[in-house]
Amino acid sequence: KIFFYLFDNRDRVLSKDHFFDYLWPLEDRNHNIINVHIKKIRTKMDDPTGTILQNIYGEGYRLNTYIRQ
């Protein structure tokens, strides 16, 4: 669900609160769970440097559709 949420909002920065509001609106907000899921998605995408699924420090995550070579 996290990947598809990123895909639906590609090229937009999504904060961890965005993920919680969309996926787990009624549960406690342990922000580390987002980090774990993002790491798993990067592993499956073979993106260890975070080029495709980028961490924007202090803001959130962005799924990039255009990557400069």
- Strands of the chain, DSSP E: 53-56, 60-63
14 φ, ψ to 5°? -115, 125
Question: How far apart are alpha carbons 57 and 43 in whole angstroms?
Answer: 20
Q: Whole-angstrom Cα distance, residue 4 to residue 49? A: 20
Cα angle, residue 17 at apex, residues 14 and 21 outer, rounded to 5°: 105
Q: From first to last of its 69 residues, what are the pLDDT tens digits of the chain?
A: 999 999 999 999 999 989 988 888 777 778 788 889 999 999 999 998 888 999 999 999 999 987 665
Kindly list the structural domains of the chain, giving each domain's residue range(s) and its CATH number in brackets, ordered by start: 2-63 (1.10.10.10)
pTM of the model: 0.81
